[in-house]
Amino acid sequence: MTGFGEASGTFEGTHYFLEVRSLNNRYFKATIRLPDVFQGLEAEIEAALRRRIARGSITVVATCTDESADAAYSVNHRALSSYIEQVLRTPQVASGQVRLDLGPLLSLPGVLQQPSNEESRLVKARAAYTTLLDKAVDGMLAMRAREGQALLKDLIAQRDVIAEQLETVRERSPQVVQEYELRLKGRIEMMIKDAELKLQPVDLIREIAVYAERSDISEEIMRLGEHIRQYTEMITGTGGHAPKPGEAGDRPVGRTLDFLAQEMLREANTMASKSADSVISRCIVEVKGAIDRIKEQVQNVE
């Protein structure tokens, strides 16, 4: 799910800022942008993210403004002197036609040296970014939780559609065989009457039994009902109440829900292929539509 969180603070004269953004993704993917001097912290930050986030495209952007004197680069006087000596030997400079400007010389390789306290700066940045990352992730997860409440309502609504249509199918299924028996008897009696033949009851029973076996969807109804029960436990918590820490609704279930939706669709397709009843067919169309919406929405579930 989408979310955003940020945090900032000043630690020992250095101001740090960090923001975390989350977008939908079936898997976990982290993009971390740190100041060049702190690139060594990337693996630690990604590990900290993985401990709290199981799914989504996560982007972390961190900046640092060091206002202390320790942030100043030092001048390598020997390197600068060497450059100046070489420039002074240039005829145009020696004759005074060109003025010597120290500004460009400072940008030459080796003139400016990074602060020598890189290790201590890295230690300080690690502590600062660890604290800020926890705060930013808290804010991002809070935003995702608010979005999750709206998503949960839609997932429950689609569950209710499937359960309602499945109940209609369950009630209708026994009647299909009975209606087929009546239609078959009527057609056969008409044909026998015209041909002046006699039908043995065992032949009629055999034909009805074959049709009943071929169109029996009781197992699919049972399995889909069990999938609905498991689906309910996963999205709302055991027993159908709101999720609490440690219950099913508090654990990452996005990928499992995706797989479960595929299994639900499999059962619906099997029922559609077995039954030729128009009422059941209409119900299965509604069931498959709700399952497709679930498959789309669970991509946003962690």
Within-domain flag for 84: yes
**Residue 85 covered by a domain:** yes
- Residue, of 188 and 139, whose pLDDT is higher: 139
Mean pLDDT of the chain: 80
Name the residue type at position 196: E
The pair phi, psi for residue 31, each rounded to 5°, is -120, 115
The verdict on residue 42 lying in a domain is no
Task: Report pLDDT digits (tens) over 34-48.
Answer: 988 888 899 999 999
Beta-strand ranges (E) seen in the chain are 3-11, 14-23, 28-33, 56-66, 74-75, 112-113
| Mean pLDDT to the nearest integer, 201-209 | 60
Tens digit of each residue's pLDDT (9 = 90 or more) over 211-242: 555 667 788 889 999 999 999 998 887 544 44
Whether 89 maps to a domain, the answer reads yes
243-275 pLDDT, tens digit per residue, is: 443 334 456 688 889 899 999 999 999 888 887
Q: What is the pTM of this model?
A: 0.58
- Nearest one of 165, 286, 157 to 221, comparing CA atoms: 165
Residue 104 belongs to some domain of the structure: yes
Q: How many separate domains does the chain show? A: 1
Its domain, for residue 83, covers 74-112
Secondary structure letter of residue 72 according to DSSP: P
Flag whether 59 is in a domain.
no
Any domain includes 280: no
Q: What is the pLDDT of residues 68-88, one digit of tens each?
A: 656 567 777 788 788 778 877
| 93 part of a folded domain | yes
